[in-house]
Amino acid sequence: LQLTTDMDTWIRNKRVQRDLLGSFEQRSVRTVVFRQALSGFPDGEYGVLVMECRFEKKQKGLEILSLGKDPYDQWRVISYDLR
């Protein structure tokens, strides 16, 4: 994520998107999958979490959070998508 977007731009874009949806109401985990490969990234250790979410102005949404292990064996967010 840090390689594709600077933090200030990413936060600003997500804030605009979330403001359009209204206040956050609920989130529940739908699936968690661990993989050795993820499209667009080198082979490694990855986790993909898909969460159902609800906002004031969007009753059914999905958040997709992808994590990757860094060289120090720490999980890092590599992508986040809200649909």
Q: pLDDT means per 10 residues in the chain (83 residues)?
A: 70 82 92 93 94 93 94 91 88
Would you call 32 helix, strand, or coil by DSSP?
strand
Which residues, 6 or more positions from 64, have their beta carbon under 8 angstroms from its beta carbon? 48, 49, 50, 51, 79, 80, 81, 82, 83
Coil, helix or strand for 7?
helix
pLDDT of residue 60: 94
Beta strands in the chain (DSSP E): 24-35, 46-55, 58-69, 75-82
pLDDT at 4: 65
Q: What is the DSSP letter of 64?
A: E
